[in-house]
Amino acid sequence: MTPLRALIAEDEPILAYTLQQTLQRLWPELQVCGVVDNGASAVQEALAQKPDVLFLDIKMPGKTGLEAAHELAEDWSDEGHFPLVVFVTAYDEYALQAFEQAAADYVLKPISDARLGKTVERLKARLQQHAERDAELERIVGQLRSLVPGMPVASERLSMIRAAVGNQIRLIPVNEVLYFEATDKYVNVVTAESESLIRTSLKELLPQLDGSQFWQVHRGTVVNAHCIQSAIRDESGKLSLKLKNHEQMLPVSRVYAHLFKQM
């Protein structure tokens, strides 16, 4: 029988060590297959290792635990079970009531044997329920839509994009944008006639857009809904968007697939 495995993502070395040692004492059958100290590494290692359980610190440099879970939900392959997620945090229990629905459990810092022991028992019970594990990805995807923290609503909406092109500034009416695509520290602004880079992040841009018109369909893509011609589902069930006057198909992640359910 393949041993159960866990991945720990915690940026405080002492807490990471404490969690690992306590788990080994309370759940000796569980193998800790890795310990990482940031959200990006948590995503990379989880996709590579395919652990059964994932302990995610809420606050980590780069990506938070919630953002890492969100990215994993988008990128997880259709093969194998999505890991049970346990959030590790210093938040009080009242703040964590919202997290309970998206996670198998949560653990408050400082970690106590009694509380982690309850988590271990809950995880064991969940891991034995194979039917529930098959639905784990869809369950957490639905909850993460509301749990991943968004940016505050901007007081004014953008009507014009100012993009640098050489030594010129190109003015692009927002309504003419087909989609925005994140590329490292920039955003690629795609229209039917051209593509231009702006020096901002998608997270900074989103609150300045009209959410009824511009829909996020992937963590790196925001599309103008008025420019969508159709949503096409392939044999594996994955969605892609066909835009008007544009050849490139845009993939839709699991997290945003609900936008294209039949009314």
pLDDT in tens, 150-183: 444 444 789 999 998 778 888 999 999 999 999 8
Domains of the chain from N-terminus onward: 5-147 (3.40.50.2300), 160-260 (2.40.50.1020)
Q: What is the pLDDT of residues 43-78, one digit of tens each?
A: 999 999 999 999 999 889 888 888 898 889 888 887
Helix (H, G, I), strand (E, B) or coil at 16: helix
Q: Is the pLDDT of residue 141 over 70?
A: no
Q: What is the pLDDT of residue 20?
A: 96
Q: What is the rounded distance in angstroms from the CA atom of residue 222 to the CA atom of residue 152?
A: 17
**Beta-strand relationship, 214-218 and 221-224:** antiparallel
Would you give the distance in Å from CA 168 to the centre of its chain?
36
Q: E-assigned strands of 43-201?
A: 53-57, 84-89, 105-108, 160-165, 168-173, 177-183, 186-191, 195-198
CA distances from 243 to 127, 223, 237, 248 (A): 42, 9, 19, 8
Q: Please give the average per-residue pLDDT across 137-154, as a whole number.
A: 56
Q: What is the pLDDT of residues 90-129, one digit of tens each?
A: 876 645 654 555 567 888 888 999 999 999 999 998 888 7
Q: How many residues does the chain have?
A: 263
Q: Please give the average per-residue pLDDT across 241-255, as a whole number.
A: 92
Q: What is the pLDDT of residue 136?
A: 61
Q: Kindly report the number of other CB atoms within 10 A of residue 183's CB atom.
A: 10
